[in-house]
Structure 1
Amino acid sequence: MALPLQKREVLRGRYRIRKRIGQGGIGSVYLAEDQRLEGRLCAIKEVEHDRSLPPKIFEEAREQFMREASVLARLDHPNLPKVSDFFSRENRDYLVMDYVPGEDLRTHMLDARRNKTFLRTDVVIGWANQIANALTYLHSQDPPIIHRDIKPSNLKLTPSGLIKLVDFGLVKMLVPDEMTITIIQGQGTILYTPLEQYGSDGTHTDPRSDIYSLGATLYHLLTNTPPADARKRFLRPESLITPRKINSSINRRTERGIKWAMELHPNKRPDTAEDFRLFLLGQKEIITSPLPQLHQQEKKNTLRDMLAQPTEQILAWLIFGMMILSLLTTLGN
């Protein structure tokens, strides 16, 4: 692999490199200043092609990058960073997009775990609402775009409370008879990858593959526990611990939704990201605004809280009360 770009190096006569902010197996991501638009920061994703590729294969890979980068540049959605430019230099290709400030959701989850608590379920469902909207937009393109790498570290929470799906590393265009993978070939991150995505070309993936990854992401965010990967679950179905056994504050609808999205067979999952979103939301209020408190807080149960509990919990309280009353009566005699 060639040397990384240097600080203050200028690309395309326009983008001055500040620092490297990410690194992968075949490239890096850099924070840069746009010298034509004062004050604008951008993220530049670099893809370095294998120098040993035959010239014809190299040219095909570059043409594929240009073709699919142009598709990404046409996308316009509030939960996706805007791709503003793309170009090549020597054996490297570059994708320029908006720099998204804020921490990724993995960082927020780890912060909750360090504090021995969990992220609030209503907050996470609010995030899921935004992510599902972005996926619905991607899947509705012609041809449909499959992200293939939904995970907590690829989701950023901006200071305004907006979720951004920041990495297009494995995006795939569903073109009939021409299955292609954008920018970086790969299978995603194992914890969040469905069975059908394993393999070299991913020809069996479709929008339901992203739904699985979103379900696995919600599982991790709400339990602070990585889900058992799909291959392990295929061999040992009991290896996936139900979310409420880890975090009892997760409501039953959310647990059912996560398990539905994480079904091993695609036909058993929600057909669309919109179906999944609507199931998760139910009648609950959507939270998307900036939140001063993301973690759960302990609170004392009031009578109103007790009456709002599921029926089996109310019965338990009544039985407990009757036992106390019986004991007091016995002592009084």
Structure 2
Amino acid sequence: MSSPQDADDPIDEAFAAYLRSVDEGSVGTRDEFLAKFPSMAQELKSLMEAADAIDRFAISQSGASAPEPIPPSAETVDSRISDADQSGGDPAETLPEADREKGDPGPTLPYDLGEYELQKIVGRGGMGVVYQAQQKNLNRTVAVKMIRGGMLACENDVRRFYTEAQAAAGLHHPGIVPVYQFGHQAGHHFFSMALIEGTDLQKKINEEEELSIESAARYVRDVARAIEHAHQNDVLHRDLKPANILVDQKDRIHITDFGLAKNLGTDSSVTGSGAAVGTPNYMAPEQAGGHSDRATKQSDIYSLGAILFACITGRPPLVGDSIVDTLMQVVHEPAPPMRTHRAGVPHDLETIVAKCLEKSPKKRYHSAGALAEDLDAFLEGRPILARPRGRLLQLWHWFSGVPLVGALIGRKVVRSSPGHRRFQAAMLLMIAISPFFFVGLAMLYSHHIQSMPDHVTLAGGLDQGMYNQISTRIASRLRESQGIAVEVVGTGGSMDNRQRLLNRAVHLAPMQASAINDDRLCVVAPLFYELAHLLVRGADFDRNSIHIAPEQLLGREIAIGPPESGSQGTAKMILESLEISPDVSPRIAIGWSELNSERAPNIALICVGSGSKLIVDLLADGWQLKSIPQSIMISIHHPTLRPMTIDSSVYPGSPIPTTGLPTIGTTAFLASRRDAPAELVQATLELLYQKPLLFADLIPRFRAAEWQGWDFHPTARQYFATSANDRK
């Protein structure tokens, strides 16, 4: 607020005079003051009531209930004056003027306040008045700060006043103004502290045309070291600004005004959630956004960066047309580079300031001490630890300043430059024509991915296995009909084929039903049934019986096939249903060609096509076929399995009854990825059922409806739907 001599309006001059008399404690009651100005009494009364309303609003917005009075600390402060006062224990009850006799004009200078004689006013703030005083019992000159009185004295002010005194009293550092005593006397809340002869940093910034780079860095380095001491003692300042940094006659700094301090150890604070406390130009974004209760050490570090910015450029980083505008910029706008306001700022110093002014507290210096170390390194010409923002990050910060982009990403753009607005206009034009562009692009892409590839790869299977035979025959027909390059790669079986499809290493692959268990895969066509063949050898088994009890498998090793084969997966499902655990009957992964070796188990569970040459050869070498017990129960447990029989004609010479050998069967499918080209799937299906058939056991296409619950490729589903009545 302007001083009386600066005021042009008589009402403003009178109101300023009232405020000054309140600060000096020389005013009586409000009515007595208004009586001196009868011609403007009504206007002055309205101003006083407005100030009262503003003060009540500030308290209500803080969301904090009145705390218990903060008593002086016996360890750090002499509390004799507090003890001498008999006015009561609650500071709110002893506000200036609250318990004065009517007509008491209050203190006039010089004024005796216990052992202090107040001599002259040396400073005023929003909450208190600082006097130069003589401490009579120690014969020393000190500063005494008293809370403002009159209409501006409120309970929140008292809490802040005692918070400042108690916070500063617990700190002992040459860069922090020491507090000697605090308490209340004759209705006046006060505390005494060292008197610093000199000026404050804000006045130096205002009075000097430009602070030298070195002086600015040195001032903030020393402030950072003092704040590091406060942080180590669990005290946050939360209102760091140039006006709160005193510079003595020896050019040394001293931090004062801990009125908004927060004790991290007790989580005490004069504000609550929802209050934006501090000075807008220098407060951290988390404070400006109304979350002062979330302030951390990094909040003070942001303020240190803003102070350094002001020392170098002569102005804070972000300045709005109003307090609200400034707060919005602090929360949402990135700070400009210092070089936009002062040419020739060293790159390292700009990097240090940018790190302090990061919006995210985690990106700032982890401590004020680390900031001081980097400023020391800058002053001594050593490399700093902070790193500048990369060009991509700088570009992103500029791009996010475009109003439309900011709205999309949740960043509020307070103001935009002409460049941002031109870019937005071009972007809106692109958005307007983009639907037509993307529709055309989508049509081209769809045509491309659905067309026949120039080179097709099919997965096979184990050497001399049925999968290899099928894939080789499909490849041959594709080459002849489409004139494209087709390759068949040998694999380890169903599970290997599944992974190759997922990795896009192949276009089509035969595999057992249990392997098609990923949403990215689908069925092209059912190929043939694979039957579980339980084979045994040795004298322990009855050659005249096709039956075997599950108990006979217990305690014996069982060969279940190569690791990547579908046969191994089917064998595991069968054994689990029979409650034959691997702990009791170890499952041996072994290649089928090794079954006749001495180290091979005497039991094998093989899932292959009926009439497989592998089974024929094993039977010729002395192995016996046995029925799978409880086949119906097993099929109930596993939907991909079904009870089936092995026909006696398939393996001539084997003692299979004419009714067949009970077993479990599964289906081998030709599978693909869901996004497989439609032209490839269509051509493969037409060639698959083209006469002569690829192999005798191929499941007829009209029977594909039996697997209608399976997830078919869209082209395959349409193909089978249109040929459902074709039984040729």
Do Structure 1 and Structure 2 share a fold, with TM-score over 0.5? yes
Q: Deviations over 1:81-117 (max 9, x none)?
A: 111010113554211100101111111111223xxxx
Cα pair 1:170 1:186 within 8 Å, conserved: no
What stretches of structure 1 of length at least 5 have no aligned partner?
287-333
Residue of 212, 223, 240 corresponding to 1:120? 212
Tell me the residue number matched to 1:329. Answer: none
Give the CA deviation at 1:48. 4.6
Q: Does 1:281 align with 2:396?
A: no
Query: What secondary structure, in the 3-state scheme, does the structure 1 residue paired with 2:344 have?
Result: coil
Q: Does 1:35 align with 2:136?
A: yes
Residue of 353, 357, 367 corresponding to 1:262? 357
Distance of aligned partners of 1:106 and 1:63 in 2 relative to their CA distance in 1, 3 Å threshold: closer
Tell me the residue number matched to 2:145. Answer: 45
Give the CA deviation at 1:119. 1.0
Between the aligned partners of 1:64 and 1:226, the Cα distance in structure 2 is: 25
Cα pair 2:167 2:261 within 8 Å, conserved: no
Between the aligned partners of 1:52 and 1:218, the Cα distance in structure 2 is: 32
Residue of 237, 247, 251 corresponding to 1:147? 237
Question: Which amino acid counterpart does residue 196 of structure 1 have in structure 2?
Answer: E
Tell me the residue number matched to 1:188. Answer: 278
Give the CA deviation at 1:257. 0.7
Cα pair 2:163 2:260 within 8 Å, conserved: no
Q: Does 1:9 align with 2:104?
A: no
Distance of aligned partners of 1:72 and 1:236 in 2 relative to their CA distance in 1, 3 Å threshold: closer
Query: What secondary structure, in the 3-state scheme, does the structure 1 residue paired with 2:264 have?
Result: strand
User: Counterparts in 2 of 1:283-298, with a 5 A limit?
Assistant: 284-285=379-380
Tell me the residue number matched to 2:179. Answer: 83
Cα pair 1:49 1:91 within 8 Å, conserved: no
Q: Does 1:179 align with 2:268?
A: yes
Give the CA deviation at 1:186. 7.2
Question: Which amino acid counterpart does residue 128 of structure 1 have in structure 2?
Answer: V
Cα pair 1:253 1:280 within 8 Å, conserved: no
Tell me the residue number matched to 1:306. Answer: none
> Which structure is larger by alpha-carbon Rg, 1 or 2?
2
Query: What secondary structure, in the 3-state scheme, does the structure 2 residue paired with 1:85 have?
Result: strand
What stretches of structure 2 of length at least 5 have no aligned partner?
1-18, 27-106, 319-325, 382-728
Q: Deviations over 1:112-134 (max 9, x none)?
A: 23xxxx21111111112210110
Distance of aligned partners of 1:200 and 1:33 in 2 relative to their CA distance in 1, 3 Å threshold: farther
The root-mean-square deviation of aligned C-alpha atoms, in Å, is 3.0
Between the aligned partners of 1:194 and 1:15, the Cα distance in structure 2 is: 38
Distance of aligned partners of 1:244 and 1:19 in 2 relative to their CA distance in 1, 3 Å threshold: same
Between the aligned partners of 2:152 and 2:336, the Cα distance in structure 1 is: 45
Between the aligned partners of 1:28 and 1:186, the Cα distance in structure 2 is: 23
Cα pair 1:26 1:49 within 8 Å, conserved: no
Residue of 169, 173, 189 corresponding to 1:73? 169
The two structures have a TM-score, normalised by structure 2, of 0.34
Could you tell which deviates more after superposition, 225-234 or 62-71? 62-71
Between the aligned partners of 1:187 and 1:31, the Cα distance in structure 2 is: 28
Tell me the residue number matched to 2:252. Answer: 162
Q: Deviations over 1:139-166 (max 9, x none)?
A: 001xx10111111111121122211112
Cα pair 2:288 2:331 within 8 Å, conserved: no
Could you tell which deviates more after superposition, 195-204 or 16-25? 195-204
Between the aligned partners of 2:376 and 2:131, the Cα distance in structure 1 is: 37
Give the CA deviation at 1:74. 3.3
Structure with higher RCO (Cα < 8 A, 6+ apart): 1
Between the aligned partners of 2:340 and 2:153, the Cα distance in structure 1 is: 50
Query: What secondary structure, in the 3-state scheme, does the structure 2 residue paired with 1:226 have?
Result: coil
Tell me the residue number matched to 2:348. Answer: 253
Cα pair 1:51 1:91 within 8 Å, conserved: no
Query: What secondary structure, in the 3-state scheme, does the structure 2 residue paired with 1:203 have?
Result: helix
The two structures have a TM-score, normalised by structure 1, of 0.72
Give the CA deviation at 1:169. 2.2
Tell me the residue number matched to 2:200. Answer: 104
Residue of 69, 87, 95 corresponding to 2:191? 95
Distance of aligned partners of 1:52 and 1:152 in 2 relative to their CA distance in 1, 3 Å threshold: closer
Distance of aligned partners of 1:52 and 1:217 in 2 relative to their CA distance in 1, 3 Å threshold: closer
Between the aligned partners of 2:157 and 2:280, the Cα distance in structure 1 is: 25
Question: Which amino acid counterpart does residue 140 of structure 1 have in structure 2?
Answer: Q
Deviating 4+ runs (over 4 angstroms)? 48-54, 60-68
Cα pair 1:19 1:31 within 8 Å, conserved: yes
Query: What secondary structure, in the 3-state scheme, does the structure 2 residue paired with 1:192 have?
Result: coil
Between the aligned partners of 1:179 and 1:128, the Cα distance in structure 2 is: 27
Give the CA deviation at 1:173. 1.1
Distance of aligned partners of 1:230 and 1:258 in 2 relative to their CA distance in 1, 3 Å threshold: farther
Distance of aligned partners of 1:100 and 1:52 in 2 relative to their CA distance in 1, 3 Å threshold: closer
Could you tell which deviates more after superposition, 68-77 or 274-283? 68-77
Cα pair 2:237 2:258 within 8 Å, conserved: yes
Q: Deviations over 1:273-306 (max 9, x none)?
A: 01111222225339xxxxxxxxxxxxxxxxxxxx
Q: Deviations over 1:239-275 (max 9, x none)?
A: x331022222321111111111011221111110011
Between the aligned partners of 1:199 and 1:90, the Cα distance in structure 2 is: 40
Between the aligned partners of 1:148 and 1:37, the Cα distance in structure 2 is: 33
Tell me the residue number matched to 2:303. Answer: 213
Cα pair 1:173 1:181 within 8 Å, conserved: no
Distance of aligned partners of 1:135 and 1:86 in 2 relative to their CA distance in 1, 3 Å threshold: same
Between the aligned partners of 1:61 and 1:119, the Cα distance in structure 2 is: 35
Between the aligned partners of 1:104 and 1:71, the Cα distance in structure 2 is: 21
Cα pair 2:168 2:177 within 8 Å, conserved: no
Cα pair 2:239 2:260 within 8 Å, conserved: yes
Cα pair 2:217 2:379 within 8 Å, conserved: no
